[in-house]
Amino acid sequence: MKNFIVIIFLAFLTISCSKEKDPNDPSQQDELPPITQTGAYTFGCLLDGEVWIPKHYSNSIVNPPVVLQAYLYKTNGNLFQVIATRDRKDDNSPLQILGLFTFTNAVGDTIILPSSEIGPRFVYERLPPRNGGVFKVYYSTGNENSWVYLSRLDTNARIASGTFSVDLINTDNNKDTVRIREGRFDVPF
């Protein structure tokens, strides 16, 4: 019995130890998830050339933050929505939210994402760090680099998958732009 308790204690100790990521170690860098159509609960893109995947930094096991959500709205032309969040790592980092909206009848078609606040669109919100900063909102530009390809929307299996690319412009400063490339999602809804 004593050995069992020691083994359990060592197991918990091992699990609770974590090694900080080394930003210079290529094996510890974030990678884009593969392009799949299985409901793998993945989302990723290159945001201004850097890998962006949803993340949270909470240690809560009971109620961790939700970082990836998908919805199907059967009103207003059957709009499908994916929301991905990257939580603040610390007080000096921003909270980032990416939102993709497209019509469900677009399965198998490449749809240009217009600059709009309704209907198909892409939105990037950057909330400032806790220690100060400016809240920024970016919308898709509607150019040929702003598109979504919805490869699967299965309402029976409740899975949606696709790829996207988008040029975004700050709503308050049209010289402040963001480029998203190699975007992909595969989500249950």
pLDDT tens-digit map of 62-111:
666 679 999 998 776 688 999 999 988 888 889 999 999 988 888 898 99
For 157-183, what is the mean pLDDT?
Answer: 96
Distance CA(186)–CA(189), nearest Å, equals 10
pLDDT of 10 over the 70 cut: no
Distance CA(155)–CA(76), nearest Å, equals 17
For 8-31, what is the mean pLDDT?
Answer: 49
pLDDT of 120 over the 70 cut: yes
DSSP string, 91-154: TTS-EEEEEEEEEGGGBTSEEE--S-SSSSEEEEEEEPPTT----EEEEE--STT-EEEEEEEE
* Residue 18: band (very low, low, confident or very high) from pLDDT cuts 50, 70, 90: very low
* Residue 60: band (very low, low, confident or very high) from pLDDT cuts 50, 70, 90: low
pLDDT for res 138: 96
pLDDT of 188 over the 60 cut: yes
pLDDT of 12 over the 50 cut: no
pLDDT of 130 over the 70 cut: yes
pTM of the model: 0.79
Which residues does 4 contact at the CB level (< 8 Å), separation at least 6?
Answer: none
Q: How far is CA 123 from CA 23, 91, 176, in A?
A: 28, 23, 14
Structure tokens at 110: 């490449």
For 116-125, what is the mean pLDDT?
Answer: 88
Share of the chain above pLDDT 70, in %: 80
Contact call for residues 34 and 41 (beta carbons, < 8 A): no
For 51-55, what is the mean pLDDT?
Answer: 95
What is the pLDDT of the chain when averaged over all its residues? 84
